[in-house]
Structure 1
Amino acid sequence: MESLGQMFGFMLYVSDYKAKANGGLLFIPKVHDRAQVFISCPSDNYEENPKYVGTVARWSNTSIRLPHTQCTSDNRIYILVENMGRINYGQYIFDKKGILSPVYLDGEPLQKWKMLPIPFHNLNEDRNSVISEAYTDLRKSVQKKLKNKRNYHPEPAFYSGHLTVDEIKDTFLSFHGWSKGVAFINGFNLGRFWPSFGPQCNLYVPAPILQEGKNLLVILELEAPNAELFVTSVDHPDFTCGSSANSRVHQI
């Protein structure tokens, strides 16, 4: 990611490949830190979103069997890579992010990649450069209003809504029912939520980033949103999410 002038956020990698009868076996030897893989048929004018096929993580970079598709020509593969923080000690003091190796399909490297940075700049209602540029290929309509309960798909999407504040003070947002992602209020990055992994269930919202009246909440949900499309403001932290097995430190 540093080679593109981006020190944080996400990167979307896009490439085309010839459709195979068996779908093919995808292998990414070195990814930092977590990659979600999607495929689509770019030439068939499908209305469906790219289909999720699997996740590759730095700590468990297993192969993914791509499903067979009915594409009449090439398949398109999307790899959304998340930077999950830096180690910054020992042999990992220079902890580069992104895909740091060739991407192999049935042992052959895929070529001609397009790299789209997603730095989370300009998260506002008037002109959202994140949504308008990088996610145009991955999802044609990714910005949803939290108050509108509508059908959703389990692909990454942005959700926006408003938090109304009468008295400015510290608070917390509970992400019960959400899957994994990042939350922002008034352009300020609150942090990541991942309740199934834990241990943190709620994100701290410091008073100085809030304002009286409406405050813009933007959520990037990477998997599946809360079925009711809402978050809750609470007055306390909560570190009881996840299981003891999931809460252990992974060996890199």
Structure 2
Amino acid sequence: TQSNRHRRQQSVQPPSRITIRFNESYIGSISEIKYCREQTSKDHLEQTFQFPMKYESFLRERLHINEKGLLSVLRPFDYEYFQTVTFQFHCLILEQQNGGMNLTRVNKTEDIQLIIDDINDEPPRWIMDEPYQYGTYFGYVEKSARPETSVFRFKAFDPDTTSKLTYEIVQGDKNLFHLSSDGTLTTHSNQQLLSPTYNLTVRAIDLNSQVLSMSRSNEAH
């Protein structure tokens, strides 16, 4: 009787949990679920995932477990899509006995939590509110403006958690204008601005990324 009570208590215990961490670009094996593998030719193995409905198709395309219990990532994840997800994995192993009877050798449900780490793979994006037309932003300044007079403020955003943005003038008169690392464009010298229009091409750069930076034209009137 005491043994039966012990079995009943075990049967209602909540699933255990496996936590697995990897970066969003990783492809390959991430865990070995040792109890869920075929051991003899008489084993009948069933492995099932129960994913959150919101991510079901996404996860089914990316996760696979083989008959040896090796859980693998088939396609890269996306940190910007989600950073963590928990789902259930169920393993059932039936061993065929003589006489056609099946012995349940494994019948276990387990929670699996995936934690996705960000890698620096996204380019910067412009988020400026200033007037914009045909790929060009417009800033205005007096011809007789003193040095360090503010002309324009460039603003970019990078969704990567490790990004470090800076800005630089790619094309244009760097003797007349200065661009600080925070994106502030100012006049740079005592020279009078004789032309009614100056065209500058500015680039936002993520110093921690190998992704191509982003350029944008600006006209100073």
Scaled by the length of structure 1, what TM-score is found?
0.24
Instruction: Give the TM-score normalised by the residue count of structure 2.
Output: 0.27
Bigger fraction of residues in strand: 2
Structure with bigger gyration radius: 2
